[in-house]
Homo-oligomer: A and B are copies of this chain.
Amino acid sequence: MADKEPRIVFQRPKSLLPVQMHYCPGCPHGIVHRLIGEAIDKMGIEGTTVGVAPVGCAVMAYDYFACDMIEAAHGRAPAVATAVKRVHPENIVFSYQGDGDLASIGMAETVHAATRGENITVIFYNNAIYGMTGGQMAPTSLPHQVTQTSPYGRDVHTAGYPIRVCELLKDLDGVAYLERVTVDTPSHVRKAKRAIQKAFTYQQEKRGYTLIEIVGTCSTNWGMTPLESMDWMRENMLPYYPLGVYKDIVAEGYENIHEAAKDRAKNVPIVMQEAN
């Protein structure tokens, strides 16, 4: 069989600017950025996408994505994204947030953007630690996990329990789609990519709030090599944060969040009053 003309089958997506990123070696933040870029490229939406960067290791994401970008205050990306989406409802708006950003300081904004059913997509990178500030305990740090601020291991008696974000949000009526993925292997990466694309598509179809949680790592602050950290993540985080679809309103047979919510409240007179 003669060699065919060589062609590129894998390369940097166009919607990621050709700059070196500041992430530590092997940090999956980079993989997730690429998946978003691939989704934007594939859907041809770079010109109509606005991304909102968090405060966290991904703070400089505004320098990496080729679409318009906004750097939000710590935890407030959902509020910022909400406003951008309200101003430009035809744009695709996503926020990119870490666990500290999304689930600690930004908890109220997260829950409320979700319950409002904002048509935005939240990309949630959960590495069970505060990466940027040097490895403090995160709301998702596991019991007994040693961090800078849980030096003897997270003591649940004083520091309490981790938050499982998908589980927390799934009951809110504004939520259309929630999936927890990881990026430790090529096949998981491809699954994560499909999830992100699906979330963007749901947003385009105005189905409601979408969030993809990526269970990640932080080899630097976990004090491991990148490969070790993937192992640790698989062994400890995945059973604590099980992968899977936590909500998919379309799979449940609804067109969007409003249909589903109405169905749920069909015995409430005031909710059904329009139908009268």
Instruction: Report which A residues bind B (CB closer than 8 A).
Output: 104-108, 111-112, 115-118, 139, 142-145, 156-157, 159-164, 167-168, 171-174, 235-236, 239-240, 257-258, 261, 265, 267-271, 273-274
Total copies of the chain: 2
A235 to B273, CA, bound (A): 13
Q: Select which of B105, B163, B236, B268 is within 8 A of A269 by beta carbon.
A: B236
Q: A239-B268, A240-B271 provided; 15 other pairs, C-beta below 8 A?
A: A107-B108, A111-B111, A111-B168, A112-B139, A112-B160, A115-B161, A117-B156, A142-B271, A143-B261, A143-B271, A144-B273, A144-B274, A161-B173, A163-B172, A236-B269
Q: Quick one: given A118-B160, A174-B161, A261-B161, are A143 and B111 in contact (CB under 8 Å)?
A: no
Q: Select which of B116, B117, B156, B268 is within 8 A of A258 by beta carbon.
A: B156
Q: Quick one: given A111-B168, A168-B172, are A116 and B273 in contact (CB under 8 Å)?
A: no
Please state if A115 and B139 are interface contacts (CB–CB under 8 Å). Answer: yes
Please state if A117 and B161 are interface contacts (CB–CB under 8 Å). Answer: yes
Output the least CB separation between A230 and chain B (Å).
Answer: 15
Q: Quick one: given A108-B107, A117-B161, A118-B160, are A270 and B172 in contact (CB under 8 Å)?
A: no
